[in-house]
Structure 1
Amino acid sequence: MLIVGRFINGICVGICSAQVPVYVAELAPAHKRGLVVGAQQWAITWGILIMFYISYGCSFLKGTALFRVPWALQMIPAIFLFFGIFWMPESPRWLAKQDRWDDCQKILALIHANNNPDDDMVRMELQQLREACDMDRIQSDVSFIELVKPPMLWRLHIGVFVQIWSQLTGINVIMYYITFVFGMAGLSGNNNLVASSINYVINVVVTVPALLYLDKVGRRPILLMGSISLTVWWFLCAGLMGGYGSPAPPGGLNHIAEESWSITGSPAKVVIACSYLVVASFAPSWGPVSWVYPPELFPLRLRGKAVALSTASNWMFNFALSYFTPPAFVNIKWKTYLIFGAFSFAMALHVFFCFPETAGKTLEEVEGLLKENRAPWRAASNKRDLEDRAIESIQAQEKREQEIHVESA
């Protein structure tokens, strides 16, 4: 029964995690999209923190309540979400795709202009949506096959890898197995659990700066800074573990695993600090950006399918790492840290050479930018140029409508 329940839960979480970023990205104003979509990751960090402390508190209960209570409490946010959906507006991009232009304009006015449908920003974005929908109708192929053909294959690889790299940062080594890591550093029992909880607090607090600066600084600089800092902390942990650690005594260490690793004294404290710094580096960078970035890369007709594939790759590598980490600590011990350090360095190179900047642009502007095929490290923000072009397009459209009106009169 528990396995079937987890299977159903996995389907539901998969649907939500694949579609929520798309929905929120299509609703959010361009200049606040990082803040709004990144808030999803902040909500996730709150969920992890709250459930850790609930589970910790329930560990003092007796009998089946020890595990029934934390599982049952997870129904509460799902119930609020179910009823809250009835008051949520439809995506203006989806409405445009269905030719419901009046409803689309109302939602855009609600988002951008306090219900003023004649606002310049509303008119500009509505015109961009019309042009995007016209282009999508010309390119009627909306199957998954198009995603694996040039030029969409290049975008798909970026969207998939931003989710894969977010797992290969090694963050879930800390999130899932932090008691294992701290056990190797000499902590045990209640001290281990309390010290582990600090990670989840850091995860919540340090995500906030990303929400405030993600749209101002841009996606690329934040991903690069996150990758480089993660590289430093992982290699530092590996050096300390390899240089000052030793095999655990027979029978395992602190009831964690046989044939694991042990480190004591000041080096152990630095390893604990580096574990906190791994979280502090991931939380404001790869954490929120991995959800913000994929919906920005694809045209309207393919966005839902592409983001679903990207999210699936996240969960696939999440699953793989949850199986890889415990035997890795047993079989290759401290060298496990070298693997994640190497991944972090590789993702920095990948971001620099392949990931375009998307901050501050509407989804339609991003589409126009990607079609120009500029080198990512040379593609400076051309938001003003794109806005000028959009305004010129609106003015030209209005001029044509006036000419038609005069001719008909």
Structure 2
Amino acid sequence: MARYTTLYTSALIAGLTAALFGYSVGFIGGIIVLPSFLEHFSLSALSPSARASTQAQIITSWLVGALFGVPLGMPFCSRFGRKGCLVLAGGLYVLGAGMQLLDFGGIGGFEVGRVLNGLGVGVGTLGGPMYISEISPPSERGMLMSGYQTILQLSALAGFWGAYASHSTFPDSSALQWQLPTGIQLIPGLLLLVGTLFIPETPGFLAGKGREEEAERSLVRLRGVKGEEWMVAGEMQEIRDAARVSALVKERKESFGTELLKRGVRQRLVVGVGLMIAQNMVGLNALNYYAPVIFMSAGFTSVSSSLFLTGVFGVVKLLSAIAFMFVFVKIRGNRFWLLLGSSLCAVCMLILAYFVHRIPPANQLGEAKLTAGGVISVLTVYVFAFSFSVSLGPISWNVCSEIFPLHINAKCCAITTCTQWLFQIVIAYITPHLLTTIGWGTYLLYALFCLLIALFVFFSVPETRNVPLGREMDALFDDEKDIDEEEEMEEETETTLLLKHGQRERRGSLGVYT
């Protein structure tokens, strides 16, 4: 595997877009409650409701920025390449982090920085997975794409424990208490910007722009076969074929709406959008929001022990993501893990519904005692974390990045990624209200969603593991009419190229004799 050094390095650098995502999620919850932050931005003087509203705005502004960052990144991916998209993501993220640190305009300036931060994350969630998918050979694609989720979980964990450690290390009077965790955002952003300078553009994008020699050099570099170019001849031919079909489609000036009328494209969007919705509807945010209370009601009544167990929740997600990346992804296909994971999540939600139903009122949590049921509930939260992290967590991103045709890949990925962010906003908004109004019934509702997700996977999601991009991926979704049309376009392309070659030869001959 030494020859894949460039491949792994490139995937790691593109995977830093997940670090932008994960750290931003992980650190902000701890930062906005730090005494130094509240004092510096005069939030401590506000009423509890006004302070809660401002804190919610800080989180929501980032989510909205991420949502709009996806369509912002789409033209960059299509025109300037996947590398251009990564540069834009890193630049916006660093600019946003800088605004948060330099304190322009008080809390309003901090929120503007969060919006820019979110825009960068949104752009990154579009470009990062696309880049990794397009540079990966089928045998390595599952592992490398799963690395995206692993980096996300690792950086989220770093954000959570970073805020926790900062609170423990610095006094409440020190601005460093909130500035240090905020400033750490610059590290993955700058690493992404610098690292992008040293990685190749994806061969598929270069071939699609007619730069076939550059595409071949990029592929040779990624596969580590310099001097043995014959080893990638077959893969390069597949890339050329896909690029030629894409070019012919563009010459026909078929709109994206026309593409959507094709049964195969519609099927792929149903799968991609469905998986992104499922990733949010499985109920992870309900546990993220309520885990400390569950742990306290289980008998771990001190705030420190509750927060510690919440941190372990993040550790379990990280270790599960690593296990999936290096072990589970090679054992069985995507469908198996999606079905198993969603089913286990449903069982966990049913157990938690029963347990949460028995949680004492908030003013009695200090009286809760450690019981066998409490221990089971804590373990159930961790089993849920494992189930999510080996199924919908990584696989949703994996599938969406690999199933779409080259010529509409950026647009389709923009739709699925926007769906991810839109439903994050929806779930972040409705979960607290659900927990307030129907309480333990929230977990029953999420259990139902988990079962519906399992049915959706069983009937709608094909197996994509180890399937090469291009014709073989098309065959999973396209009906015979679409495949026949693609073959006709390829034949037409080859005929056109031969005619053009003949015209050039005739012009050359005339030039000799005249």
Bin for the TM-score computed over the shorter chain: 0.7 to 0.9
Matching of residue 59 in structure 1 with residue 179 in structure 2 = no
Corresponding residue of 2:348:
233
- The amino acid across from 1:125 in the alignment is E
Matching of residue 162 in structure 1 with residue 282 in structure 2 = no
The 2-side partners of 1:29 and 1:106 are apart by 16
- The amino acid across from 1:282 in the alignment is F
Aligned residues: 372
Corresponding residue of 1:123:
233
Corresponding residue of 1:34:
142
Corresponding residue of 2:8:
none
Q: Given the superposition, is the C-alpha separation of residues 285 and 303 from structure 1 closer, same or farther in structure 2, using an over 3 Å criterion?
A: same
Deviation at residue 216 of structure 1 after TM alignment: 4.6
Deviation at residue 116 of structure 1 after TM alignment: 4.2
Q: Given the superposition, is the C-alpha separation of residues 216 and 133 from structure 1 closer, same or farther in structure 2, using an over 3 Å criterion?
A: farther
Q: Deviations over 1:242-290 (max 9, x none)?
A: 3xx05515x5746xxxxxxx89622222111111111011111111111
Corresponding residue of 1:138:
248
Q: Deviations over 1:358-385 (max 9, x none)?
A: 11121114433235549xxxxxxxxxxx
Matching of residue 346 in structure 1 with residue 491 in structure 2 = no
The 2-side partners of 1:263 and 1:8 are apart by 45
Corresponding residue of 1:283:
389
The 2-side partners of 1:98 and 1:360 are apart by 26
Q: Given the superposition, is the C-alpha separation of residues 371 and 285 from structure 1 closer, same or farther in structure 2, using an over 3 Å criterion?
A: closer
Which blocks of at least 5 consecutive residues in structure 1 are unaligned? 255-261, 375-392
The 2-side partners of 1:303 and 1:264 are apart by 52
- The amino acid across from 1:95 in the alignment is L
The 1-side partners of 2:297 and 2:261 are apart by 47
Corresponding residue of 1:13:
121
Q: Deviations over 1:154-193 (max 9, x none)?
A: 2112111111111111122233442233234343310111
Query: Is the contact between residue 215 and residue 359 of structure 1 (CA under 8 Å) also seen in structure 2?
Result: no
Deviation at residue 127 of structure 1 after TM alignment: 1.4
TM-score, scaled to structure 2: 0.67
The answer to which of 165-174 and 139-148 deviates more is: 139-148
Query: Is the contact between residue 147 and residue 306 of structure 1 (CA under 8 Å) also seen in structure 2?
Result: no
Query: Is the contact between residue 59 and residue 66 of structure 1 (CA under 8 Å) also seen in structure 2?
Result: yes
Query: Is the contact between residue 279 and residue 392 of structure 2 (CA under 8 Å) also seen in structure 1?
Result: yes
Deviation at residue 136 of structure 1 after TM alignment: 1.7
- Structure 1's consecutive aligned runs of 4 or more residues displaced over 4 angstroms after TM superposition are 141-144, 251-254, 371-374
Corresponding residue of 2:7:
none
The 2-side partners of 1:241 and 1:175 are apart by 14
Deviation at residue 49 of structure 1 after TM alignment: 1.0
- For 1:122-271, list aligned pairs within 5 A: 122-140=232-250, 141=253, 143-146=255-258, 148-151=260-263, 152-187=265-300, 188-212=302-326, 213-242=328-357, 245-248=358-361, 253=365, 265-271=371-377
- The amino acid across from 1:232 in the alignment is V
The 1-side partners of 2:472 and 2:133 are apart by 12
Report SS of the residue matched to 2:229: coil
Query: Is the contact between residue 179 and residue 192 of structure 1 (CA under 8 Å) also seen in structure 2?
Result: yes
- For 1:319-338, list aligned pairs within 5 A: 319-338=425-444
Report SS of the residue matched to 1:59: helix
RMSD: 2.7
Deviation at residue 147 of structure 1 after TM alignment: 5.6
Deviation at residue 112 of structure 1 after TM alignment: 3.0
Q: Given the superposition, is the C-alpha separation of residues 129 and 45 from structure 1 closer, same or farther in structure 2, using an over 3 Å criterion?
A: same
The 2-side partners of 1:349 and 1:274 are apart by 23
Corresponding residue of 1:110:
221
Q: Given the superposition, is the C-alpha separation of residues 84 and 267 from structure 1 closer, same or farther in structure 2, using an over 3 Å criterion?
A: same
Corresponding residue of 1:46:
154
Query: Is the contact between residue 346 and residue 447 of structure 2 (CA under 8 Å) also seen in structure 1?
Result: yes
- The amino acid across from 1:235 in the alignment is L
The 2-side partners of 1:197 and 1:241 are apart by 20
The 2-side partners of 1:145 and 1:157 are apart by 15
Q: Given the superposition, is the C-alpha separation of residues 246 and 52 from structure 1 closer, same or farther in structure 2, using an over 3 Å criterion?
A: closer
The 2-side partners of 1:236 and 1:91 are apart by 46
TM-score, scaled to structure 1: 0.84
The 2-side partners of 1:162 and 1:51 are apart by 26
The answer to which of 108-117 and 14-23 deviates more is: 108-117
Query: Is the contact between residue 334 and residue 463 of structure 2 (CA under 8 Å) also seen in structure 1?
Result: yes
Corresponding residue of 1:355:
461
Higher normalized helix content (fraction of residues): 2
- The amino acid across from 1:83 in the alignment is V
Which blocks of at least 5 consecutive residues in structure 2 are unaligned? 1-108, 481-490, 507-514
- The amino acid across from 2:213 in the alignment is D
Report SS of the residue matched to 1:326: helix
Identity %, equivalent residues: 27
The 1-side partners of 2:472 and 2:343 are apart by 26
Query: Is the contact between residue 113 and residue 119 of structure 1 (CA under 8 Å) also seen in structure 2?
Result: no
The 2-side partners of 1:184 and 1:201 are apart by 21
